[in-house]
């Protein structure tokens, strides 16, 4: 297998470090619009970097992506950029005849008149609209294959296949007890993506009603996370699982709730009130004259790079899927989860916990595709594949998952 990895930020760098320890691929090209960042990701691998190359590419330039795939004869493109670049990379992989994986799907657009009740353009709609083209050519686009979405969806498939006869509700719940020394506000993941998913209207799925929206941060609940993290208040957030799981798993209700914390929520609300969550360019004074810039990009530039926070971070992060239903006629409720301790991920890989947890899952998926354990064509989510091979291989990577009967 020959892989083009686009994006050499925190997650992309973690992907390279995890993949370097596995033998399933022949070449991984690490590409970024900042060549120095791609080179740094490869150089950091040391002797393990023999199968890696650094390249410069603009993820928004579809033709350049196609050319790079062709030049290195890559079989698959792994997208480790933010969601703005999903569609050019998705189309570029299809044009080049390469498989495609991402960790976040094409962007949504709220309903123009009833944004807090009805869906407009949903996450992934642009990708699923092209599913027939992928199927026609026999190509595979595996979408939403990070941790959430990704591993959380694998858990949903596992629960449906092996743990339940009937599922009442699948609720993805994400929480952590991470702290960052020296910062009052320092998100552990891309603030661009965090703003996008937290301030858009969350989507909920119910059988018979389909997908609908609610207000941001709605339906707060306290969820008790395992392995010492403890109780965290979680709220509804827009996320891909709600759009993916019902396509392949039969459940009466699907939700996603994120443990953000009151201070984090209030900060996001303030950014929204000030218009600093916007992506439309504004003109501001500059030393050399007026400068056109996106307010959200300004926010991102003012905050520390999440990839650099590892040594300042303490605690654990948990991603998991809470499933309720019946088994053999009796009620059952389980929480399937994956916890990463920041101290472990820093010591073992030099990557902070959140980016490492995101990165390990697409690498596992790539290995399953390389070995033929996972096969398919079209635009598919993680739920479309058998869960057990993935969970077994994740454990073999040294990062086991857990299950708690509720």
Average pLDDT value for residue range 275-288: 90
* pLDDT tens figures, 148-187: 999 999 999 999 999 999 999 999 999 999 999 988 788 8
- pLDDT digit string (tens) for 62-87? 999 999 999 999 999 999 999 999 99
Rounded distance between C-alpha atoms, residue 279 and residue 296, angstroms:
6
Percent of the chain with pLDDT over 70: 100
CB atoms closer than 10 angstroms to residue 284: 11
Residue 332: is its pLDDT beyond 90? yes
Q: What is the pLDDT of residues 108-144, one digit of tens each?
A: 999 999 999 999 999 999 999 999 999 999 999 999 9
Average pLDDT of the residues in 288-313: 88
What's the DSSP call for residue 24? S
**pLDDT level of residue 252 (50, 70, 90 thresholds):** very high
Q: State both tokens at 391.
A: 């969970």
The pLDDT > 90 percentage for the chain reads: 85
Whether the Cβ atoms of residue 257 and residue 171 lie closer than 8 Å to each other: yes
pLDDT value of position 199: 87
Non-local CB neighbours of 339 within 8 Å, separated by 6+ positions: 226, 227, 229, 316, 317, 318, 402
pLDDT of residue 343: 97
The mean per-residue pLDDT over the stretch 366-386 comes to 98
Indicate the average pLDDT of the chain.
95
pTM of the model: 0.93
Separation CA 169–CA 387 (nearest Å): 19
Helix count (H) and strand count (E) of the chain?
14, 20
Confidence bin at 346 (pLDDT 50/70/90):
very high
Q: Is the distance from CB of 84 to CB of 7 less than 8 angstroms?
A: no
Instruction: Supply the pLDDT for residue 279.
Output: 87
Q: How far apart are CA 176 and CA 319, in angstroms?
A: 9
pLDDT category, 304, cuts 50, 70, 90? confident
pLDDT at 191: 83
Residue 355 pLDDT class (50, 70, 90 cuts)? very high
The answer, yes or no, to whether the previous bond of 149 is cis (omega within 30 of 0) is yes
For the stretch 186-213, pLDDT in tens is 887 778 788 888 889 999 999 999 999 9
The two structure tokens encoding residue 393: 């291989």
Which has more pLDDT, 277 or 126?
126
CB 254 within 8 A of CB 205: yes
* Cα distances (Å, whole numbers) of residue 12 to 50, 185, 300: 17, 23, 18
């Amino acid at each position: 297998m020959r892989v083009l990895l686009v994006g050499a930020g925190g997650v992309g760098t973690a992907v390279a470090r995890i993949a370097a320890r596995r033998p399933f691929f022949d070449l991984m090209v690490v590409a970024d619009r900042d060549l120095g960042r791609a080179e740094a990701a490869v150089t950091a691998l040391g002797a393990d970097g023999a199968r890696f190359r650094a390249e410069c590419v603009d993820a928004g330039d579809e033709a350049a992506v196609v050319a790079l795939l062709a030049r290195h004869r890559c079989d698959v493109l792994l997208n480790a950029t933010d969601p703005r670049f999903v569609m050019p990379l998705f189309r570029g992989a299809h044009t080049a005849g390469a498989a495609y994986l991402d960790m976040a799907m094409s962007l949504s657009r709220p309903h123009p008149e009833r944004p807090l009740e009805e869906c407009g353009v949903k996450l992934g709609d642009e990708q699923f609209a092209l599913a027939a083209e992928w199927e026609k050519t026999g190509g595979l686009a595996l979408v939403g294959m990070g941790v959430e979405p990704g591993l959380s969806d694998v858990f949903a498939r596992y629960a449906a296949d092996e743990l339940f006869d009937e599922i009442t509700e699948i609720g993805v719940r994400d929480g952590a007890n991470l702290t960052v020394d020296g910062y009052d506000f320092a998100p552990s993941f891309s603030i661009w993506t965090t703003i996008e998913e937290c301030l858009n209207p969350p989507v909920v799925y119910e059988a018979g009603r389909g997908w609908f929206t609610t207000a941001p941060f709605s339906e707060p609940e306290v969820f008790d996370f395992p392995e010492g993290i403890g109780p965290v208040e979680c709220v509804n957030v827009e996320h891909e699982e709600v759009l993916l799981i019902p396509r392949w798993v039969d459940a009466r209700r699907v939700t996603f709730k994120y443990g953000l914390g009151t201070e984090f929520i209030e900060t996001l609300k303030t950014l929204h009130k000030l218009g600093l969550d916007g992506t439309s360019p504004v003109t501001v004074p500059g030393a050399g004259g007026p400068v056109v810039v996106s307010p959200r990009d300004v926010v991102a530039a003012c905050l520390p790079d999440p990839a650099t926070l590892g040594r300042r971070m303490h605690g654990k992060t948990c991603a998991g899927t809470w499933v309720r239903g019946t088994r053999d006629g009796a009620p059952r409720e389980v929480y399937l989860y994956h916890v990463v301790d920041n101290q472990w991920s820093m010591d073992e890989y030099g990557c902070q916990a959140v980016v490492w947890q995101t990165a390990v899952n697409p690498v596992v998926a790539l290995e399953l595709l390389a070995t033929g354990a996972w096969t398919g064509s079209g635009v598919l989510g993680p739920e479309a594949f058998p869960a057990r091979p993935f969970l077994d291989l994740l454990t073999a990577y040294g990062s086991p998952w857990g299950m708690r009967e509720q």
